[in-house]
Amino acid sequence: MLRAWLRGQVTSADEVDDIVQEAYVRVLQARETQALDSPKAFLFATARNLALGRLRHRRVTENFALTETTAPGVLEDETDVPRAVARAQELELLTQAIQSLPTRCRQIITLRRIYGLSQKEVAAQLGISEHTVEAQGTIGLRKLGEFFERLERQGPRRHE
């Protein structure tokens, strides 16, 4: 029943299989920490959230991908090249900062800030309480701020 529903939501058969497997894993993990009143509803909600997360991820990566139609325009307009390079460097620093976080903080920050999930959706997806999402999110944001403060104190890198 879940596969049939997902086939209507997701374009790739491989994605359907991946989402089903991940949803079952999350249901089993959630059952270890709490009693589920409606496992079937939790399974479908988890699968829906996973499918939405993949869709959001696809949209984000499409926005950052350079296609053949956009690449020549960037190369022809000299003012856009420095801006594109600066943006790429900023994204690289943000990626480093997020990767430096503890696992739970990194998961929560990624789901909340990158994929745009609500606090409640993150809690359901990770099988934790909303309070934990809030607390770990706050810790993650504080650690990101500390990462960038350290970077700022170090000053610009010199290539000699």
Kindly report, residue by residue over 38-53, the tens digit of the pLDDT. 888 888 888 888 888 8
Domain range summary for the chain, segments of one domain joined by +: 1-65, 100-160
Kindly report, residue by residue over 72-82, the tens digit of the pLDDT. 444 444 456 77
Distance, CA of 9 to CA of 48 (rounded, Å) = 9
Question: pTM of this prediction?
Answer: 0.47
Distance, CA of 61 to CA of 4 (rounded, Å) = 27
CA-nearest of 70, 69, 32, 50 to 115 is 50
How many CA atoms within 13 Å lie on the side-chain side of 155?
A: 2
pLDDT at 128 over 90: yes
The CATH code of domain 100-160 reads: 1.10.10.10
Percent of the chain topping pLDDT 90: 17
Distance, CA of 49 to CA of 121 (rounded, Å) = 7
Distance, CA of 87 to CA of 109 (rounded, Å) = 20
Amino acid 143: pLDDT: 92
Kindly report, residue by residue over 15-29, the tens digit of the pLDDT. 888 888 988 888 888
Give 139's pLDDT tier (boundaries 50, 70, 90). Answer: very high
C-alpha pair distances (Å), 45 with each of 25, 35, 116: 13, 16, 16
Burial pattern 119-158, b for ≥16 Cβ within 10 A else e, equals bebbbbbbbbeeebbeebbebbbebbeebeeeeeeeeeee
Amino acid 60: pLDDT: 64
Q: CB count, 10 Å around CB of 101?
A: 20
Give 148's pLDDT tier (boundaries 50, 70, 90). Answer: confident
Q: CB count, 10 Å around CB of 94?
A: 15
